[in-house]
Amino acid sequence: MTSSTAEQSAGTVLITGASRGLGAGLADAFDAAGYRVIAAIRSPDMRRQEPRLRHVRLDVADEASIAALADKLAGEPVDILINNAAIRGDTGGLDTLTSEDFLKVMRVNALAPLLVTRALLPNLKSGRRKLVVNISSRAGSLAEGTLDDDEGDYAYRLSKAALNMATVKLAQDLRKDGVTVLSLHPGWVKTDMGGSDAPLDPEESVRGLLAQILAATPSDSGSFRSFDGRTIAW
Ligand SMILES: NC(=O)c1ccc[n+]([C@@H]2O[C@H](COP(=O)([O-])OP(=O)(O)OC[C@H]3O[C@@H](n4cnc5c(N)ncnc54)[C@H](OP(=O)(O)O)[C@@H]3O)[C@@H](O)[C@H]2O)c1
């Protein structure tokens, strides 16, 4: 990054799981909106470095990888952190639930956003927006999560319910630092995770998520909304 690139940008956004799906879509959308984008990817093509879209290596399931990214970005302000990386895990019912699968999903979907947020807190505190966005799911809502389907995916649902509590708890803890923390549901979207039956195209979800993120204010901290602005009951 040159200093003039930083000065001309609308801000800096770091997105985890930006290799494909909604993470890649958000990276392109923020780039188009004039942001400097740090696209965090497990196996990045480090040759693909553009002036405003920079690829960095991050496996959110690996604490050493999180620490290495924090070291690499030391001293660089980050305005918006989007904890987007996630896995679905076994979608079967109670019969097929395994401890190994459960813990893997919890690590990536619930623990990693906490660890990444903590590691990048100095960057967020020196940013202007001071915003953390946890990409959650309505599937993790205790009130609404089982209304539309009866799929098992215990690990995924429990991980997103835990992530929602992380949003509320981080919002409480980081208020003193002026950091806003949100949970956002992207809708049911045609990605590798959402599958081809999903009603939403990624572009529509990303447009809505971008609008919610750009409009967020400190008074929204600790809230859970859908990409279309609807409040989701916890
Ligand atoms: N699609 C939907 O209908 C839907 C609905 C509700 C919520 N969501 C949420 O929306 C977010 C994006 O989902 P999506 O549909 O775009 O999923 P996706 O197409 O399956 O993409 C998942 C992304 O997460 C990354 N990832 C997984 N494990 C990782 C790890 N250990 N470290 C770093 N990156 C990792 C993947 O990277 P690799 O390419 O390296 O695997 C990929 O970039 C997720 O939080 C998901 O739970 C999606």
Q: What is the pLDDT of residues 172-203, one digit of tens each?
A: 999 999 999 999 999 999 999 999 999 999 99
Specify the CATH number for the domain of residue 123. Answer: 3.40.50.720
Residue 100 is assigned to a structural domain of this protein = yes
User: Does the annotation mark 156 as catalytic?
Assistant: yes
Residue 75 lies in a domain: yes
Find, among 13, 132, 31, 124, the residue nearest to 77 by Cα.
124
- Predicted confidence band of residue 104 (pLDDT cuts 50, 70, 90): very high
pLDDT of residue 52: 82
What gap in Å lies between CA 167 and CA 169, rounded to an integer? Answer: 6
Q: How confident is the model at residue 149 (pLDDT cuts 50, 70, 90)?
A: confident
Q: Is residue 124 part of a domain?
A: yes
Q: Is residue 112 part of a domain?
A: yes
Band (pLDDT 50/70/90 cuts) for residue 7 is low
pLDDT for position 48: 64
pTM for this entry = 0.96
In a domain, 231, yes or no: no
The two structure tokens encoding residue 149: 């389907």
Q: Which residues line ligand 1 (CB under 6 A)?
A: 16-17, 19-23, 42, 58-61, 84-87, 108, 135, 137, 185-186, 188-189, 191-194, 198
Closest CA to 132 of 222, 32, 199: 222
Task: State in Å: Cα 116 to ligand 1 middle.
Answer: 15
- Please give the average per-residue pLDDT across 37-60, as a whole number: 87
Q: Which atom of ligand 1 approaches the CA of 83 most closely?
A: 45
